[in-house]
Amino acid sequence: MDQAPCPPRLPRIGEPAPAFEAESTHGVIRLEDFKGSWLVFFSHPADFTPVCTTEFLAFADIHQALRDRGCELLGLSIDSIFAHIAWVRRIEEKLGVRIEFPVVADLSRQVAELYGMIMPGESKTETSRCVFVIDPKQTVRAVIYYPLTTGRNTDEIVRLVDALQTTDSKGVATPANWRPGDKVIVPAPRTQDAAEERAKDQGVECLDWFYCRKSL
Ligand code: BEZ
């Protein structure tokens, strides 16, 4: 009996980011080249399209802010390297913005399949607007998927990197709409004894035993 094809196994939070080697606008690039840095790896549907052009301008705008946080930026679509080169040159010529980050040309779709960037129900020929935040040990730490028709909010991507880095460095969580400088969430106690200790802790502001905040 014929077996139904297995659905692709998408990278999940907490798992190793899938290794790849691919041609990019900066030459051959490998995931392992980014080891030791944070990485925002995003896909866009197609070169020379309007929403993607607005996104490239917005990604260029946050590129330095990401670098300041030890985070590299890498794009991908299933266009050719020549289309990528022509499009980034056109963006610079017409819109005055230089695209400094590399863009993977994934005509074979190998990387896009590995990262589950193609949503066949939406388009079989374009990558959706996916973002993977990958940490310096190359673990997937966050995943965002947006449809073809909605341009992403790049401020949110910087905020997400800030939140993940704060979690790692301070052992805390971050509340809804958190911004650097705001109070953070102290992880909830996981035993009765710890809950009693928490109740006595003067260094934290508790709205309830499980919901405590503090300033950094
Ligand atoms: C765009 O970038 O404008 C776009 C690309 C693919 C589908 C819809 C919009």
Q: Residue 10: what pLDDT?
A: 86
Query: Which tokens hold the place of 161?
Result: 């990197």
- From the CA of 15, how far away is ligand 1's center (Å)? 30
Which domains are delineated in the chain? 21-151 (3.40.30.10), 171-216 (3.30.1020.10)
CB distance 126 to ligand 1 below 6 Å: yes
Tell me the pTM: 0.95
Closest of 72, 15, 66, 82 to residue 39, by C-alpha:
72
CB distance 185 to ligand 1 below 6 Å: no
Closest of 22, 193, 29, 7 to residue 105, by C-alpha:
22
CA-nearest residue, atom 9 of ligand 1? 149
Name the active-site residue from 6, 52, 206, 212: 52
For ligand 1, mutation pick of 53, 118, 124, 148 (most atoms within 8 Å of CB): 148
Confirm if 56 and 99 have CB atoms less than 8 A apart.
yes
47: confidence class by pLDDT, cuts 50, 70, 90: very high
How big, in percent rounded to 5, are the helix, strand and coil portions of the chain?
30, 25, 45
Q: Residue 2: what pLDDT?
A: 59
